[in-house]
């Protein structure tokens, strides 16, 4: 990887799956000898920048000052030239368009990764802009096969032009697990855990409703949700209305996700829509028994139900039934958790994801692939 100079562009600097992938990709490639520059919004909140601190990855900022911003394209192009960028890699719609524009004008290869956001799809102008970006890019990547099919349909392009690169995560057992003590749970208490920002698409309301259906039969059942977002007050009110305010724990944004997963009896992913969520992969590596919505790439990640139970999204009754199945049968829960961990190690290790992107960079530059599997994943 020595000599390769990569620009990574993303429109958000807050905590999220795409932002985490950018941090993992840039820091791992930096450790492998490449020079990496991450481009962040000038008015971001700094979360991703903090994740990159001390890694050697350079930071640049951009500003989109209007719906169509030539000034943004110009600033990106100038920064690419200043850093002598070999290849640019943009994530999600806005930066796919601006990154492709700047790369095309400078004459360097460009890649696009779409992580699941399809807010471009309902406006013709956005679809046309993304289609143009794809046309001048060396590769377009989706993190899941269902997402690739959606993009192909949205843009009316052959699906063969879209590559699929599943997300990957590093995993190390947590040094300390304190969540049960923090929540003052007794040894007999059962804990469901969900990880995801508090947005409608994450389906947390349906999880709370499912817990209410189990509450009488499982008086020691609790649920902890790690994440932040616009629905916090609404979810607290829903728990209060269902007399669950002492059993639904909103943890806010947490850095110790591994320790939170290690405290879980069951990991729950109640999302209404997903690509390939990092939280699911982290739960798989942790060996958690899993109940998840049958959406996006989730069924494939869970082996069609062999490594976790799949349920219809937005169906609290189905979710409650699946949760009860695992609560009643600890042997099945352990078996599913072991299968999930084995499947994660085989398919979703961080090094596999980075190798695949490194090969795409090399291909875009007309160079032979060079795997970097010997480079350990950074702990950040």
Where do the CATH 3.40.50.2000 domains begin and end in the chain? 5-170+349-364, 179-347
Model confidence pTM above 0.95: no
Instruction: Say what the pLDDT of residue 380 is.
Output: 37
Report the C-alpha gap between 141 and 129 in whole angstroms: 17
Largest CA distance in the chain: 64
β-strand pairing of 139-142 with 58-62: unpaired
Handedness of CA 26, 29, 31, 34 (dihedral sign): negative
The burial class, CB within 10 Å (0-12 / 13-18 / 19+), for 229 is middle
β-strand pairing of 162-164 with 87-91: unpaired
Instruction: Say what the pLDDT of residue 120 is.
Output: 84
Domain boundaries 5-170+349-364, CATH class:
alpha beta
Instruction: Say what the pLDDT of residue 243 is.
Output: 98
CA–CA distances in Å: residue 364 to residues 1, 89, 137, 151, 208: 14, 11, 9, 21, 47
Structure tokens at 343: 């499947």
Instruction: Say what the pLDDT of residue 275 is.
Output: 81
CB 12 within 8 A of CB 18: yes
Instruction: Say what the pLDDT of residue 66 is.
Output: 85
Instruction: Say what the pLDDT of residue 370 is.
Output: 59
The 10s digit of each residue's pLDDT in 223-249 is 999 999 999 999 999 999 999 999 999
Handedness of CA 262, 267, 272, 276 (dihedral sign): positive
The closest of 174, 195, 113, 167 to 350, measured between CA atoms, is 167
- Phi then psi dihedrals of residue 278, to 5 deg: -65, -35
Percentage of the chain lying above the pLDDT 90 cut: 86
Percentage of the chain lying above the pLDDT 70 cut: 97
Instruction: Say what the pLDDT of residue 349 is.
Output: 93
**Bridge partners of residue 250, in order along the sequence:** 225
Report the C-alpha gap between 191 and 181 in whole angstroms: 12
Domain boundaries 179-347, CATH class:
alpha beta
List average pLDDT for each run of 10 residues in the chain, which is 380 residues long. 91 91 96 97 93 97 92 97 98 96 98 87 91 97 92 95 94 91 96 96 97 98 96 98 98 94 98 91 97 94 97 98 98 98 94 95 87 41
Instruction: Say what the pLDDT of residue 378 is.
Output: 39
Report the C-alpha gap between 115 and 138 in whole angstroms: 18
The 10s digit of each residue's pLDDT in 324-357 is 999 999 999 999 999 999 999 999 999 999 999 9
Q: If you average pLDDT over every residue of the chain, what do you get? A: 93
CA–CA distances in Å: residue 253 to residues 16, 148, 226, 256, 259: 10, 30, 6, 9, 13
CB 352 within 8 A of CB 74: no
């Amino acid at each position: 990887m020595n000599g390769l100079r990569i620009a990574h562009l993303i429109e958000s600097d807050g905590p999220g799956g795409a932002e985490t992938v950018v941090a993992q990709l840039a820091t791992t490639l930096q450790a492998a000898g490449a020079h990496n520059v991450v481009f962040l919004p000038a008015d971001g909140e700094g979360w991703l920048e903090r994740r990159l601190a001390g890694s050697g990855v350079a930071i640049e900022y951009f500003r989109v000052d209007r719906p169509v911003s030539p000034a943004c394209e110009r600033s990106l192009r100038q920064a690419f030239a200043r850093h002598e960028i070999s290849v640019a890699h943009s994530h999600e719609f806005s930066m796919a368009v601006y990154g492709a524009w700047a790369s095309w004008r400078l004459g360097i290869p460009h890649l696009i990764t779409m992580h699941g956001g399809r807010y471009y799809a309902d406006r013709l102008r956005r679809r046309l802009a993304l289609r143009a970006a794809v046309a001048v890019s060396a590769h377009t990547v989706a993190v899941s096969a269902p997402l690739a099919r959606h993009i192909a349909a949205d843009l009316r392009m052959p699906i063969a032009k879209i590559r699929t690169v599943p997300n990957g995560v590093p995993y190390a057992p947590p040094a300390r697990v304190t969540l049960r003590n923090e929540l003052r749970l007794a040894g007999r208490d059962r804990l469901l855990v969900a990880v995801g920002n508090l947005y409608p698409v994450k389906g947390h309301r349906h999880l709370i409703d499912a817990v209410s259906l189990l509450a009488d039969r499982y008086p020691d059942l609790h649920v902890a949700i790690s994440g932040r977002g616009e629905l916090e007050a609404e979810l607290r009110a829903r728990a209060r209305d269902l007399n669950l305010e002492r059993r639904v724990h909103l943890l806010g944004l947490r850095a110790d996700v591994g320790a939170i997963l290690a405290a879980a009896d069951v990991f729950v992913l109640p999302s209404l829509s997903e690509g390939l969520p990092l939280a699911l992969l982290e739960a798989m590596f942790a060996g958690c028994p899993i109940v998840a919505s049958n959406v996006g790439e989730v069924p494939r990640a869970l082996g069609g139900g062999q490594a976790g139970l799949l349920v219809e999204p937005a169906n609290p009754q189905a979710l409650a039934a699946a949760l009860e199945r695992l609560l009643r049968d600890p042997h099945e829960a352990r078996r599913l958790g072991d299968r999930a961990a084995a499947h994660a190690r085989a398919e979703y290790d961080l090094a596999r994801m980075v190798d695949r992107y490194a090969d795409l960079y090399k291909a875009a530059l007309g160079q032979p692939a060079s795997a970097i599997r010997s480079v350990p994943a950074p702990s950040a």
